[in-house]
Amino acid sequence: MRRLLIPLLLGLAGFAGCGRSPPTPPSPPAAATAADAHARAQQLRAGLPGMKSVHGRRQWPGRASAYQAYFEGRTLRYLEETATDAGGQFQNHYYFEATGLFYYTGEQAAAADSGAMGPAPRVPVIVEWRGAEVVRAVRIEHYGEVPLAAAELAAIRRRAAELASAASDELTATGAP
């Protein structure tokens, strides 16, 4: 009896393991998701001519902004900001999906002093989110990518939320359905 019971139990243990779901695959590397977000952003921009747009202005201490926002129905999809501060004029681009902000490209003052007279040069900034998770958040200095500080990310999100709210109010004021 014992000789039959052990192989039977081993066979059942192997069979029970077959019902498990396979392990979840690892997340794609940040570079792959950034390329995906960039591609989605480009695709979104290609569709802008068919979207409703509104223009507006915002004033912050030390900074003025003009923006153009694009909507699909009442859902904000893209917002382009032209801002002016003591360093001059620069642009920021905010890309939205139904779940919120997913991609941002913009400019900020370089961290390193170039030695040039006048305002600090501007460097590109790229941020990508997957839901609430920050996938990539860098400024691209002349010596390479530098991670953004938490305060810089918070400022980008805060500005995006304020501009999105102002754009939505502007859309409502136009009587759009």
Condensed to tens digits (0 to 9), the pLDDT of residues 161-170 reads 999 999 999 9
Residue 149 lies in a domain: yes
Domain boundaries, position 64: 30-173
- Closest by CA to 132, choosing from 99, 98, 94, is 99
Residue 2 lies in a domain: no
Give the pLDDT band (50/70/90) at residue 115. low
List all residues 6 or more positions away from 15 whose beta carbon is below 8 Å from its beta carbon: none
Give mean pLDDT, residues 139-167.
94
Task: Report how far residue 105's alpha carbon sits from residue 83's, in angstroms, rounded to the nearest whole number.
Answer: 13
- For residue 123, is pLDDT > 90? yes
Q: In terms of DSSP bridges, do strands 52-60 and 63-72 run parallel, antiparallel, or are they unpaired? A: antiparallel
- Report pLDDT digits (tens) over 4-22: 444 444 444 443 444 444 4
Quick check: helix, strand or coil at residue 20? coil
Query: Would you say 112 and 142 are in contact if contact means Cβ atoms under 8 Å apart?
Result: yes
List all residues 6 or more positions away from 84 whose beta carbon is below 8 Å from its beta carbon: 63, 64, 65, 90
Kind and range of the H or E run holding 105 = strand 100-109
pLDDT of residue 114: 58
Residue 6 lies in a domain: no
Instruction: Provide the number of structural domains found in the chain.
Output: 1
- For residue 124, is pLDDT > 50? yes
Residue 54 lies in a domain: yes
Residue 135 lies in a domain: yes
Residue 74 lies in a domain: yes
pLDDT of residue 21: 43
Give mean pLDDT, residues 150-177.
92
Residue 14 lies in a domain: no
Give every strand in the sheet of 144-147, ordered side by side.
Answer: 52-60, 63-72, 75-85, 88-97, 100-109, 122-130, 133-141, 144-147
- For residue 122, is pLDDT > 80? yes
Give mean pLDDT, residues 84-99.
90
- Closest by CA to 106, choosing from 70, 62, 152, is 152
Q: Is the pTM value of this prediction over 0.85?
A: no
Residue 11 lies in a domain: no
- For residue 96, is pLDDT > 70? yes
